[in-house]
Amino acid sequence: MAFVLITSGVFLAAAGGWRSYVMAREAIGPLVHDGDPTRTALEATRPVIERPRVRLFARRVFLAVGWLVVAMYGLYLLSVGDAILVR
């Protein structure tokens, strides 16, 4: 049982951490680059909530945090598996 918990914990921690990093990088990427000036000018006339860049950023940050929760659950499984192994 401990082996299964540790193995799945390592997998979840690694996969969740990597996917969280990728999603956070994708969220910040468009903010670093200027983009098309015409499109930026058109989007500036819309309310902040309706701008596609803002919605895309919020969705990617939400997904990054979700993957981070998966990674933390993997760390929890690791600690439970280690506690079983120590007994």
- Band of the pLDDT at 31, cuts 50, 70, 90? confident
Residue 27 neighbours by CB distance under 10 Å: 18
Mean pLDDT of the chain: 90
The Cα–Cα gap between 44 and 33 comes to: 16
User: Domain limits of the chain?
Assistant: 2-86
pTM: 0.82
Query: Tokens for 80?
Result: 């439970």
Reported as a single tens digit per residue, the pLDDT across 44-75 is 788 877 888 888 899 999 999 999 999 999 99
Q: Which of 4-8, 12-16, 51-55, 60-64 has the lowest mean pLDDT?
A: 51-55
